[in-house]
Amino acid sequence: MGQDISVSHFKYHDFQRFERLLQRELELLRLWLHEGRFSTRRSIGGLELEAWIVDAQGQPVPLNEELLARVNSPAVVPELSRFNIEFNVDPQPLAGRGLERLETELGQTWDLCHRTAAEWQAGVVAIGTLPTVTESQLSLRNMSAALRYRALNEQTLRLRQGRPLRLDITGRERLQTEHLDVMLEAGTTSFQLHLQVPVESAVRYYNASQIISAPLVAVAANSPFLFGKCLWDETRIPLFEQAVDVGQGRFPRVTFGSGYAERSLEECFAENHDHYPIMLPWAMEETSDQLAHLRLHNGTIWRWNRALIGFDAPGQPHLRIEQRVPAAGPTTLDMAANMAFFYGLVEALATTPVPPETRLPFTSARANFYLAARYGLEAELVWLDRAATPIRSLILDDLLPLARQGLAQLTVAGDVAERLLGVIAARVNAGQNGAVWQRRFVTRHGSDMALLTREYRIRQQAGSPVHTWDL
């Protein structure tokens, strides 16, 4: 969905032509995989961060066009709503001080945008769901100008035959509402991690990424409030799944997936073709050697772990895994710690002699994910051959040692690994991630979402990790 398009309305023949091009490019992908055309480079990491623009009172302000024009950087781009922007960081080899370079560049881009937003007496804030945003603000009048967003809204409603989107989330409280467009999706800002993997081991990395989604979403949870209701620790998960629900039953557009990969990540792209109606049939040219139509279609299916095709500088295709479950925020250091936890853990599990997917059924991995999103650090997870285990002891006793092992295998500098994984250990020991701090603050000070957001921003700008935040 990062690809722009030049139209927002489509006719029947557009869908027919796009389908033909999509089929051709799927065959081209299969040929490339068979011929060994894909890059063998590995352990290249990258990231994207979605953030909110808010005023001094913590209210969202629709300024992304003005802010982006002033920043004038290809690393900062619009998101679905005019309240949101996205930061992109150049991919880096993870070895040595690669994680530190990713962290530093993210911080530099963040500081630039924050200084620029100050020209409008505004700022940027990284948080999964913004506590102050109202349902009425998530409307088409605040949609960003890019035509792909208009087209996404039109096609979602077409597939729903005009029926409104229904939101029904039961957590500590219950929220029920109906919405007439896809703008609810704008309430779900995330910290997305990318990992380039070689073809021969891509299945192992993809499955490992699915398995660790549960502990990762729990440790990074930062979205307990939506429209004044206290819901899941990571409310962003059910919110996104319901915000673009087109009623496809077993194959929703936002999904944990239907199973582990078995032989090749080509299975993901084939499933996308076979089971997901085309949403954006923008035919750019005849069959593209950049697989443009295949990638565009893939971008309208938001698996929490998504297989992506990209291209190295010489034009050689590569495979990478996009891990989409961590929430944005609370601080750059917290996000860098989440990044280290993910990269270390996925490396360790993807290279262990016995594949973990043979020890944990997919149904258990999926159930773990939703339990962790709902209950955060209070969840209990089934882990490999073991019965349900409190997630905090699982992380401290099993997963952090695995993450250290994985970072060592990646030859990440020891001081970088210890600093970042130490933040995860301290967070779990304290039992305070972003979601817990927000709930504790409201318990102490009352349900004033503006006050909560202002105090959150003060601590975020100070930069200390969330486990140290006071009330």
Domain interval for residue 287: 12-468
What pLDDT is recorded for position 1? 42
Question: What pTM did the predictor assign?
Answer: 0.96
DSSP label of 1 = -
What is the H or E stretch that residue 398 is in? none
Tokens of 314: 């010489």
Residue 331 is predicted with a pLDDT of 98
Q: Other CB atoms closer than 10 Å to residue 397's CB: what's the count?
A: 10
* Alpha helices for 118-235 (secondary structure H): 147-159, 202-211, 213-219
Question: According to the model, what pLDDT value does residue 375 have?
Answer: 98
pLDDT at 8: 53
Number of H helices, E strands in the chain: 16, 15
Asked if residue 6 is part of any domain, the answer here is: no
Is residue 5 situated within a structural domain?
no
Collect all residues with Cβ–Cβ distance below 8 Å to 254 and sequence separation of at least 6: 240, 241, 243, 244, 245, 302, 303, 304
Task: Say if 146 falls within a structural domain.
Answer: yes
Number of structural domains in the chain: 1
d(CA 319, CA 311): 9
Q: What is the pLDDT of residue 10?
A: 81
The reply to whether 4 falls in a domain is no
- Are 466 and 427 spatial neighbours (Cβ–Cβ below 8 Å)? yes
The packing angle between helices 414-430 and 400-409, to 10°, is 170
In a domain, 434, yes or no: yes
**Residue 164, domain member (yes or no):** yes
Alpha helices in 36-90 (DSSP H): 64-71
Q: What is the pLDDT along the chain (471 residues), one digit of tens a residue?
A: 445 545 557 888 889 999 999 999 999 999 999 999 999 999 999 999 999 999 999 999 999 999 999 999 999 999 999 999 999 999 999 999 999 999 999 999 999 999 999 999 999 999 999 999 999 999 999 999 988 899 899 989 888 888 999 999 999 999 999 999 999 999 999 999 999 999 999 999 999 999 999 999 999 999 999 999 999 999 999 999 999 998 767 799 999 999 999 999 999 999 999 999 999 988 776 667 899 999 999 999 999 999 999 999 788 999 999 999 999 999 999 999 999 999 999 999 999 999 999 999 999 999 999 999 999 999 999 999 888 999 999 999 999 999 999 999 999 999 999 999 999 999 999 999 999 999 999 999 999 999 999 999 999 999 999 999 999
As beta bridge partners, residue 214 has none
* Structural domain contains residue 2: no
Task: Output the six-digit token pair for 42.
Answer: 């590995």
Q: From start to end of 348-402, where are the E strands?
A: 380-383, 386-390
- For 412, which DSSP code? B
Residue 61 lies in a domain: yes
pLDDT at 7: 55
**CATH number of the domain enclosing 407:** 3.30.590.20
